[in-house]
């Protein structure tokens, strides 16, 4: 709610706000299965770099192309990275922020 209030104040002052992309996972298990350590390395290597080939991503993270290709497919299938032109893929953001909330058991 505080973030919304700050955003409204900024707009009222004539500031132009950058849009934010929010991606939610239904559970910790799904998040953990999707954002594995190798996939987080891929996302970090791709952040704000523009479209990249799977081969270039593999070179940047130091993993074999086949493993990176499987991870890229998984990340594309869940919508974390986008398909770009000429067989490239893209993570068009400059960062990723993970926010985890754990509630007491019922």
Establish if 35 belongs to a structural domain: yes
pLDDT tens digit string along 41-51?
A: 999 999 989 99
For residues 50, 51, 53, 57, the Cα torsion angle rounded to the nearest 10 degrees is 30
pLDDT in tens, 59-79: 999 999 999 999 999 999 988
CATH number for the domain harbouring residue 53:
1.10.10.10
Q: DSSP for 54-90?
A: HHHHHHHHT--HHHHHHHHHHHHHTTSSEE-GGG-EE
Nearest residue to 88 via CA among 76, 97, 80: 76
Classify burial at 50, counting beta carbons within 10 Å of its beta carbon; exposed 0-12, middle 13-18, buried 19 or more.
exposed
- pTM over cut 0.85: no
pLDDT tens digits for range 9-44: 767 788 776 766 777 888 888 888 999 999 999 999
Does 88 reside within a domain?
yes
Per the domain annotation, does 4 fall within a domain? Answer: no
How many domains are there within the chain?
A: 1
Tell whether 9 is covered by a domain: no
Q: Is residue 100 part of a domain?
A: yes
């Amino acid at each position: 709610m505080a973030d919304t209030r700050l955003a409204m104040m900024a707009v009222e002052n004539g500031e132009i706000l950058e849009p934010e992309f929010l991606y939610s996972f239904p559970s910790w298990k799904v998040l953990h299965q999707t954002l594995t350590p190798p996939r987080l390395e891929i996302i970090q290597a791709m952040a704000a770099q523009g479209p990249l080939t799977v081969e270039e991503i593999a070179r940047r993270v130091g993993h074999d192309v086949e493993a990176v290709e499987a991870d890229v497919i998984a990340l594309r299938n869940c919508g974390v990275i986008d398909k770009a032109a000429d067989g490239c893929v893209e993570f068009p953001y400059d960062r990723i922020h993970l926010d985890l909330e754990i509630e007491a058991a019922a």
